[in-house]
């Protein structure tokens, strides 16, 4: 009799968002360190993470 373990898939969407925001902050800090650039960079990085997650990751079968 085989024992079937239900594998719980972890939701790692937050990791994509965090990497996007940190990447945006890092890029904006290379341009110029000011609050406006940092906020804009964080928003743009978050939007790229959302785009990446919805187009590439959600389309994968094993995602």
For the segment 6-58, what is each residue's pLDDT rounded down to a tens digit?
Answer: 666 667 788 889 999 999 999 999 988 889 999 999 999 999 999 988 888 77
Reported as type and span, the H/E element at residue 38 is helix 35-52
Structural domain containing residue 21: 13-57
d(CA 21, CA 43): 7
The verdict on residue 22 lying in a domain is yes
Q: 34 phi and psi, to 5 degrees? A: -150, 155
The verdict on residue 53 lying in a domain is yes
In the chain, how many domains are there?
Answer: 1
- The pLDDT-based confidence of 3 (bands split at 50, 70, 90) is low
pTM value is 0.72
The verdict on residue 41 lying in a domain is yes
The verdict on residue 63 lying in a domain is no
d(CA 53, CA 43): 15
């Amino acid at each position: 009799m085989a024992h079937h373990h239900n594998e719980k898939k972890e939701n790692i969407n937050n990791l994509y968002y965090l990497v996007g925001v940190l990447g945006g902050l890092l890029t904006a800090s290379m341009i110029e360190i000011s609050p406006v650039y940092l906020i804009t960079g964080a928003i743009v990085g978050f939007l790229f993470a959302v785009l990446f997650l919805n187009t590439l990751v959600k389309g994968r079968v094993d995602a």
